[in-house]
A and B are shown apart, each in its own frame.
Chain A
Amino acid sequence: MVLCLTAVCLVCAAVLGCVYAVTFQPIKDAAAKAQMEAIGKVLPEGVEISGEQSVEIDGTQYSYYVASADSVTVGYAVKVSAGGFGGPVELMAGVLCDGTIFNTSVLHADGETPGLGAKCTTDPAFVSQWSGFAADKKLAVTKDGGDVDAITAATITSRAYTKAVAAARSVALYLGGQCNE
């Protein structure tokens, strides 16, 4: 009895170990590729993108990438996250030097309800409003007096998304001093 259970567990662990070893690199590559694609999507075409850099603001560590054209900084892609409905919503937000959001792209929103919060990656009205979101517009959902149209029935996800973008904007503005150098 004990022998049988031990044998089964051993075999299963071995199988898992093999699959883990085989998929380790592809999983890493897939994540890296998704990240590169996200950066490319949230910054203007043709800019040069720096390697990953990080900055600490108010005790929070942010990773960001600098976009430059002809060695003049035009904006930043900042990796940000905020607590959503069922876990963190992590996204890449491209912010131009003047605080305009160029675009955003979701990296992880696994905990959001399929069909509701998970629509933050697909809902056309919600997704498209980020492209060129002006610097003087308020980053809060309309329910909270801001200028962001929330996804219907997914206010919590929309708030998290908005909060993350707001964080990205403040990081970009914090770094922004370098823009005019």
Chain B
Amino acid sequence: MSKLSLITKGFIKDNPTFVLVLGMCPTLATTTSAMNGLEMGLATMFVLILSNIAISLVAPVVPDKVHIPVYIVVIATFVTVLQLLMQAFVPSVYSTLGLFIPLIVVNCIVLGRAEAYANKHGVLDSALDGLGIGLGFTLSLTVIGIVREILGSGSVFGWKFLPGDGILAFVMAPGAFMVLGYLMVLFNKYLKKE
């Protein structure tokens, strides 16, 4: 697989949200607005790239019996690092996403990529895989966030173009499921043909 396709596969072919259907908890919970989706996607990408790199390095020496605990410890470390960094340098982002950052530890995309990819590939490939899947995840979350924000709040990235409140259901959990479902249908029907 070429280096470029490693990065772009996350957009369509191996899209973590619409094709692999992984990481549904943050996907449903944080996409109340486009900005929240984008920020959550980037936060996950940060952890994904670093954990993929670290795991591809340690995988050859880790005995099979303890590989899951090792991966979890590595992932949890990067998540905590991210949490501290966000708290220190972007406190405003941390205050909106704070609740969901620790949950990245149990995001199955991160552990999934460690298990399915990083432990059998080199450092560079694993880093690119993390970048690709991370970008795909960010893109999906942003798209869901945009749709929910337009329908639910009448705005895009905080820019309000409709007066009033919009359809509140789309800001809440049922709307998250509906938007995700319809986007998944559209995605698989029109984009994943090839």
Name A's B-contacting residues (CB within 8 A).
1, 4-5, 8-9, 12, 15-16, 19-20, 23, 26-27, 30-31, 34, 86, 108-111, 113-116, 118, 152-153
* With A12-B74, A16-B77, A115-B152 as contacts: A4 and B91 at CB distance below 8 Å: no
Q: Which residues of B contact A153 (CB under 8 A)?
A: 168, 171-172
Q: Shortest Cβ distance from A121 into chain B, in angstroms?
A: 8
Q: Shortest Cβ distance from B106 into chain A, in angstroms?
A: 17
A5 nearest CB neighbor, chain B only:
B66
Q: Which residues of A contact B73 (CB under 8 A)?
A: 5, 8-9, 12
Q: Shortest Cβ distance from A4 into chain B, in angstroms?
A: 6
Q: Is the CB–CB distance between B61 and A114 below 8 Å?
A: no
23 A-B Cβ contacts within 8 A?
A4-B61, A4-B66, A5-B73, A8-B58, A8-B62, A9-B73, A12-B73, A12-B76, A16-B81, A23-B87, A86-B99, A110-B99, A111-B99, A113-B32, A114-B29, A114-B32, A114-B36, A114-B97, A115-B148, A115-B152, A115-B153, A115-B172, A116-B172
- Bound-state CA distance A114–B87 (Å) is 18
**Total contacting residues, chain B, CB less than 8 A:** 37
- Bound-state CA distance A118–B168 (Å) is 14
- Bound-state CA distance A153–B58 (Å) is 48
Q: Is the CB–CB distance between A5 and B81 below 8 Å?
A: no
Is B138 close to A, CB under 8 A?
no
Q: Is the CB–CB distance between A27 and B32 below 8 Å?
A: no
- Bound-state CA distance A46–B175 (Å) is 47
Interface residues of B in 66-102 (CB under 8 A from A): 66, 69-70, 73-74, 76-77, 80-81, 84-85, 87-89, 91, 95-99
Q: Which residues of B contact A111 (CB under 8 A)?
A: 99
Q: Shortest Cβ distance from A32 into chain B, in angstroms?
A: 11
B94 nearest CB neighbor, chain A only:
A110
B170 nearest CB neighbor, chain A only:
A115
Is B65 close to A, CB under 8 A?
yes
Q: Which residues of A contact B17 (CB under 8 A)?
A: none
* With A26-B89, A108-B95 as contacts: A19 and B84 at CB distance below 8 Å: yes
Q: Which residues of B contact A12 (CB under 8 A)?
A: 73-74, 76-77
- Bound-state CA distance A27–B90 (Å) is 10
Is B30 close to A, CB under 8 A?
yes
A16-B80, A23-B88, A152-B165 known; 17 other A-B pairs, CB under 8 Å?
Answer: A1-B65, A8-B58, A8-B73, A8-B74, A16-B81, A19-B81, A23-B85, A27-B84, A27-B87, A30-B87, A86-B99, A110-B98, A110-B99, A114-B29, A115-B33, A116-B32, A153-B171
Against A, the Cβ 8 Å flags (1 = close, 0 = not) of B119-134 are: 0000000000000000
Q: Shortest Cβ distance from B72 into chain A, in angstroms?
A: 10
* With A1-B66, A8-B74 as contacts: A114 and B96 at CB distance below 8 Å: yes
Q: Is the CB–CB distance between B70 and A8 below 8 Å?
A: yes
- Bound-state CA distance A12–B84 (Å) is 14
Q: Is the CB–CB distance between B91 and A5 below 8 Å?
A: no
* With A30-B91, A153-B168, A153-B172 as contacts: A19 and B152 at CB distance below 8 Å: no
Q: Which residues of B contact A20 (CB under 8 A)?
A: 84
- Bound-state CA distance A113–B28 (Å) is 12
- Bound-state CA distance A149–B77 (Å) is 43
4 smallest CB-CB distances across A and B, nearest first, come from A115-B32, A26-B88, A23-B88, A12-B77
- Bound-state CA distance A23–B81 (Å) is 9
Q: Is the CB–CB distance between B96 and A118 below 8 Å?
A: yes
